[in-house]
Chain A
Amino acid sequence: MLIYLAVPFYLIGRYENVLRNGEIYRFRLRPVDPYDAFRGKYVALSYIDDGVSVSPADSDIKAGMEVYISVAKDNKGFAVLKNASLSPSSQSNYFKANVYTEVINDTGTGHNVNSRKVYVTIPFDRFYVNEPMAEQAESSYRNGARDSSAYAEIAIKDGKGVVKELYIQGRPLVEYLKDGSKK
């Protein structure tokens, strides 16, 4: 019966470790919203930048495969997906994602078969919110995503990522909603 306590403790410990000791990346968002009856209301997160280049060494990557995405930051602190590979990077943070489509770049100057890009489903796909605030959160998120002021802060460590916070116009979602409701 100890396993029933060991499993949740292990899960909490693992995710807390990522949140406290992982590096924080900002991912720009675009809007969607479903409902998960079992786990309460959440805002589904969809990312603007989900395309990533593939090196010629990883030409075996096809749609439906799970790959490792190396991630870096631009000069504004937003995440940049550097590379998709079949093995994890030892030089930068990474996370796993599934490829949903692939594109061979035609640069227009001749068919460049060495330049491939894949589009991946980024696994950090939800942010749970308080039931009464859910509708308001949804519309704020959509508006924020529309004017590109919405982004998710994600902690990544050793291939694991955890959504830390959802920001609208530079403020955490709940704070933004509370300020909005007072006006």
Chain B
Amino acid sequence: MQTKETKWLYGQLPLLVKEGHISEANAEAIRGYYKALPEDGSNHSLSFLITAVLGALLIAAGIVTIFAYNWDDLSREWRAVFSILPLVAAQVFYGYAFLRKRDSAAWMESTSGFLMVMLVSSMALISQTYHLGGTMKDLLLYWCVLSIPLLYLKRVSTPFVLFICGITWRATLSESYRQLNVQDVVSYALLLLAAFPYLYFILRSSVTSAAKTIAGWCTVLSIGIAYPFLFSGDNFFTILYVYGLLSSVFYLAGKRYYAHEEHFWLRPFQTMAIIGTFSLGMIFSYDWTKFHNYTGIHYSIALNVFSLICLATMLFFFISAYRKKIFINPFPAATVLITWLCISLSDSGHTSISSLVANSFILLYGIFYLRQGIVFRKMSLVNAGMFFISLLVLVRFFDSNLGFLLKGIAFIIVGSGFLAANIFLNRKLKKSEAQHS
């Protein structure tokens, strides 16, 4: 199946051969290479796949809801039978798909999703039939553990997505505000590790695929959401420091696995890292001692070990990207350094210097994107740069003691400047593209 990118490439090959940049043999080799690449599932359309998965999940949800109604007219024995029947049906469907339709992504995605939902439904129904206790956390734990084999029997996305949703949901139920719940942290980490081989296999593919994008987004969102719930007892600056670490790690990991993706939604690691970098920069641009007497990073053995692992991982990905001559944006890569610096400065009483560092960081980051956008003729980068700088300026205006009238005039000037720059640069880039083509 030809993707948009391969169609474009095939269209370019005759021109490249004609102009002598590559030989006809090279062109044939390139065509052969992309045709030989394994597809993500067999021939299917994405819309059919999505509807198949959604249909299966909706049917499963309907069955769960009906069973939750709790049929008192049935004896306990019949209720026990009905608690297993959906699971048996799901097994039959999955078995059929696995044996006869293994190459169909629609079949495998929908039946595996259906099986996972029926599994948890069965467990919940048995609890209901026998009036068993236990919490939602327990149910989610058993469900996730039992679902691990489904991640690997046939590598499809739906079990991974449901699995990640399950472990993330379970992490949000952790009550660790007063005291760290080590069991919850360890179980989340172990469950995430159980999915890592699947993630690694998907990420190392150089082909853009929905599975790779989905896996990336699920992973970063899960970690980003689970962390503050699992460590809700940590102090403010410690949480920010860890987010700084994660931003740098995600960015550099993204440079290894999503380096050649065109759009930001196809680069989950980098996108979340940039959002994290910008958010942290904006947070530290404030002088926090005005609001609260925050203490610095609470270093513990676990945090130190985690920091070392992250730094080692960052170094690994950095070297990997450097060897492949992949461009590394220094700003998101250095997020952890800036975060640590700002926290250290704030904690030692130099809050105004910390604020200055953060403001300078965001300003320079914005200017960097502006420059990159102009040099590489990409309006998206120009807009990102303008957004960073404009928001910084606006937020500083909010901070200042200027009156409403002046603030209003400032907003109008900044907004107008934003639009004018956009229009001007857009025209310039189009003119430049016309001259080059």
A interface with B by C-beta (< 8 Å): 1, 3-5, 7-9, 11-12, 15-16, 19, 36, 38-42, 123-131, 133, 162-163, 174
Contact = CB atoms under 8 A, between A and B. Distances in A.
Contact of B84 (A5, A19, A123, A130): A5
Interface stretch (B68-76, B101-109, B265-273): B68-76
Interface of B: 67-72, 76, 80, 83-84, 87-88, 91, 94-95, 115, 119, 122-124, 126-133, 136, 139, 146, 149, 153
B84 A9 contact: yes
B147 to A, nearest CB: 9
Nearest to A164: B131
Q: Is the interface of B mostly helix, strand, loop or mixed?
A: helix
Nearest to B122: A8
Given A40-B70, A42-B131, A130-B70, A12 B87 contact: no
Contacts of B76: 19
A5 B87 contact: yes
Tell me which of A40, A42, A123, A174 has the highest count of chain B C-beta atoms within 10 A of its own C-beta.
A40
Contacts of A126: 131-133
Contact of A130 (B72, B91, B130): B72
Pairs of residues from A and B, 10 with the lowest C-beta to C-beta distance, nearest first: A40-B68, A163-B131, A130-B72, A15-B130, A128-B128, A130-B70, A125-B133, A39-B124, A12-B80, A40-B70
Contacts of B119: 4
Tell me which of B76, B128, B139 has the highest count of chain A C-beta atoms within 10 A of its own C-beta.
B128
16 contacts: A4-B146, A11-B126, A12-B80, A12-B84, A19-B76, A38-B68, A38-B124, A39-B124, A39-B128, A40-B128, A125-B133, A126-B131, A128-B70, A130-B72, A162-B132, A163-B131
B133 A124 contact: yes
Nearest to A162: B130
B68 A131 contact: yes
Given A3-B149, A36-B136, A40-B68, A12 B131 contact: no
A4 B115 contact: yes
A12 B83 contact: yes
A8 B72 contact: no
A27 to B, nearest CB: 13
Given A1-B91, A125-B133, A130-B72, 4 more contacts: A1-B153, A8-B83, A128-B128, A131-B70
